[in-house]
Structure 1
């Protein structure tokens, strides 16, 4: 995911189970590994990576879950106000939800 211009500075993504948040426009790459762990590489000289979603063997997100995050951020870029995006796993279904900050 390359940096997205526009109002993405107002879109924040929950990281590390809710303990941290990352600005969407700071992300330059997303990686979803075999265990379902979703990491984001941040745009900086140190190539810092942040875990957005811990992997697990029992409730692995779908293969395109990182792409769904990109779609959610793109959709929210047109909305006004700051938004927080977080992963949800309910009833066996994974989704990205958003709410005003």
Structure 2
């Protein structure tokens, strides 16, 4: 990444790992609500960002919401960490400074 572009990181593996958003080339949200990201590398490594769950399942556009969140954070200063969270209002992407 360039020094002028803020870094956006996404929580993966239930909080054990983080993936830099600019390394993601493909997002997949399957019918169980599992969200995976294919990384930009020769091995085509995939990382689980959100484990699937039947109840409550994330909305069908949850992966698009992640893209929107990352794009919005790209216009702010400083490194940010993005996490998927479920509360009484449903699924959301939340961010915080790293």
- Give TM-score, length-normalised by structure 2: 0.94
- Give TM-score, length-normalised by structure 1: 0.91
Q: How does 1:24-43 map to 2 (within 5 A)?
A: 24-43=21-40
Say how many residue pairs are matched.
95
CA distance in 2, matches of 1:7, 1:24: 12
Which of the numbers 26, 51, 54 marks the counterpart of 1:54? 51
Shift of residue 53 of structure 1?
0.0
Which of the numbers 72, 75, 96 marks the counterpart of 1:75? 72
Aligned match of 2:11? 14
Q: CA RMSD in A?
A: 1.1
Runs of at least 5 residues in structure 2 that lack an aligned partner in the other structure: none
| 2:92 paired with 1:95 | yes
What stretches of structure 1 move > 6 A for 4+ residues in a row?
A: none
CA distance in 2, matches of 1:55, 1:27: 19
CA distance in 1, matches of 2:52, 2:80: 24
